[in-house]
Amino acid sequence: MSKEELISVANAMVAPGKGILAADESTGTIAKRLGSIDVPNTEDNRRDYRELLFRTAGIGDHISGVILFDETIRQTAADGMPLVKLLQDAGVIPGIKVDKGAKALPGAEGETVTEGLDGLRERLAEYYEIGARFAKWRATISITDDIPSTYALNANAHALARYAALCQEASIVPIVEPEVLMDGSHTAQRCQDVTEATLNALYDALAEQRVMLEGTILKPNMVVSGADCVDQAGVQEVAERTIECFKRTVPAAVPGICFLSGGQTEVEATEHLNAMNKIGGFPWELSFSYGRALQASTLKAWAGDAGNVDAAQKVFAHRSRMNGLARSGDYDASQEAA
């Protein structure tokens, strides 16, 4: 894929009115999701649930791409159709999670670094052959009074940049995901300071590794209060702080920022995205790359029962449409009832 093609895919991922479905839960994480509706964590059940999402009528109206797990990108639907082909036929770009998870960072208590660079070049070549046109790598940054350390920020930024360079070499658009976690009692101001430091380290590393920013997507946290913070920032404050943070740190060459929902409720994630797009005046597309915030109600509606597939797909289509509206600041809470 040429430089132009990488840029073209990146721009298609953040097309107006569209965002990304994160359906890349690891086997352990999907076990928790299925467990919440008393459905056994079998390969068939994982396949049936994801097939339900991917076969939703009009999925391509508001979903530009889907991040898949290694198992899913290789699976076929119940009727034998490869799930990748199912997405492609619906005009949706298949993507793949390639990191191997966050592991303890030596010499830095309470901090992690994401692993998975060994053998990544070969894995990316295989994923491209299967049909993946973008990939994802997640780094997790914890906040306390004492962390993150500069050491942890730089270690994660370096790994993200190495991954991104390998992706572009393989003609795959890298989503770089440095997630500042909302666990803790920190204020929104503290989250903003840490997010700015995280993104400064990331973009320094991407420049050093010669990554072409026009062919990348950023998947960050929003600037929110810690989950246990007594004084929670409201929707407008979250929107203003997040935009200020990114204007200070994210180069204009980046085509789009696709937020993770990171512990927010479905409606909160939509409201925050909408408030930012209402403010406007930034150089990148502000979009979504949600997992739970697109799936929580869908999963409950399905409950593992084939008879509920239609109802569950309607719920998923609704959440996709609400976030599609939030992409242009046109979402309103009254549309939830409709």
Catalytic residues: 177, 219
Asked whether 77 and 86 are in contact (CB, 8 A), the reply is yes
Asked whether 211 and 160 are in contact (CB, 8 A), the reply is no
**Could you tell me whether strands 256-259 and 285-290 are parallel, antiparallel, or unpaired per DSSP bridges?**
parallel
For 19, the enclosing helix (H) or strand (E) is strand 19-23
For 87, the enclosing helix (H) or strand (E) is helix 83-89
Residue in 181, 274, 191 with CA at minimum distance from that of residue 232: 191
For 64, the enclosing helix (H) or strand (E) is strand 63-68
For 13, the enclosing helix (H) or strand (E) is helix 3-13
Q: What's the CA gap between 101 and 98, in Å, rounded? A: 9
Identity of the amino acid at 330: D
Asked whether 116 and 97 are in contact (CB, 8 A), the reply is no
Question: Rounded to an integer, what is the distance from CA 87 to the centroid of its chain?
Answer: 17
Length of the chain: 338
Q: Is omega for the bond preceding 40 within 30 degrees of 0, making it cis?
A: no
Q: What's the CA gap between 332 and 257, in Å, rounded? A: 22
User: What is the phi/psi pair of residue 137, to 5°?
Assistant: -140, 125
Give 137's strand partners: 176
